[in-house]
């Protein structure tokens, strides 16, 4: 830990603090005792902190790993949101074109990070399904209004 602290000092890193549980790793033993530790930290330089004052690091929970993910929300970073969020429509399953779109998109994105890979595939799938929906089903709300 001292080497870690030395690197933090040398680079000018400061702890961002956290919101949530006070640990990011857990180990449970067969005899009933457990260990909880804070192994993962959100760090930043003073210059970065001045640009994003009020940034929060959230300790999330995970059912699939003994490491808890960090969710860093930089305050002051403008997030562009689509006007209408993607929603999967059940009616699409009645048309074989839906699975064709998904099968065409899914093999893409060869990132080594599996989380990034799934996020990119899902995002691309949503965009392509919206385009396909418009081409094959048109504007359903507009048609119902007529």
Q: How far apart are CA 65 and CA 38, in angstroms?
A: 15
Examine the domain organization and report whether 61 and 112 are in the same domain.
no
In a domain, 19, yes or no: yes
Examine the domain organization and report whether 6 and 56 are in the same domain.
yes
In a domain, 127, yes or no: yes
Q: In the listed set 21, 43, 73, which residue is the last one of a domain according to the structure? A: 73
In a domain, 83, yes or no: no
Residue 77 pLDDT? 63
Examine the domain organization and report whether 46 and 96 are in the same domain.
no
pTM over 0.75: no
7, two tokens: 């690197």
Residue 60 pLDDT? 87
Residue 68 pLDDT? 86
Residue 82 pLDDT? 56
Q: How far apart are CA 97 and CA 99, in angstroms?
A: 6
Residue 12 pLDDT? 94
Residue 83 pLDDT? 64
Bridge partners (DSSP) listed for residue 57:
72
Residue 80 pLDDT? 62
Q: Read off the pLDDT of residues 83-95 as tens digits, 9 standing for 90 and up.
A: 677 788 888 888 8
In a domain, 115, yes or no: yes
Residues in the chain: 146
First to last CA, the chain: 68
Is the separation of the CB atoms in 42 and 24 below 8 Å?
no
Total domain count, the chain: 2
Range of the domain at 115: 90-145
Q: DSSP for 73-131?
A: E-TTPPPP--SS-----GGGGGSHHHHHHHHHHTT----SSHHHHHHHHHHHHHHHHHH
Is the separation of the CB atoms in 75 and 52 below 8 Å?
yes
* Residue 89 Rama label (left phi>0; alpha psi -120 to 50; beta): beta
Q: How far apart are CA 38 and CA 36, in angstroms?
A: 7
Residue 112 pLDDT? 72
User: Which residues of the chain are modeled with pLDDT < 50?
Assistant: none
């Amino acid at each position: 830990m001292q080497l870690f602290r030395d690197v933090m000092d040398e680079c000018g890193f400061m702890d961002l603090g956290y919101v949530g549980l006070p640990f990011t790793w857990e180990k449970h033993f067969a005899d009933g005792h457990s260990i909880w530790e804070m192994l993962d930290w959100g760090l930043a330089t003073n210059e970065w902190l001045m640009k994003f004052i009020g940034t929060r690091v959230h300790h999330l929970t995970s059912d699939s790993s003994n490491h808890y993910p960090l969710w860093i929300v930089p305050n002051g970073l403008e997030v562009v949101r689509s006007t209408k969020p993607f929603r999967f429509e059940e009616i699409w399953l009645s048309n074989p074109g839906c699975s064709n779109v998904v099968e065409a998109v899914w093999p893409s994105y060869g990132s080594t990070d599996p989380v990034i890979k799934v996020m990119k595939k899902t995002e691309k799938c949503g965009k392509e399904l919206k385009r396909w929906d418009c081409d094959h089903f048109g504007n359903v709300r507009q048609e119902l209004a007529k």
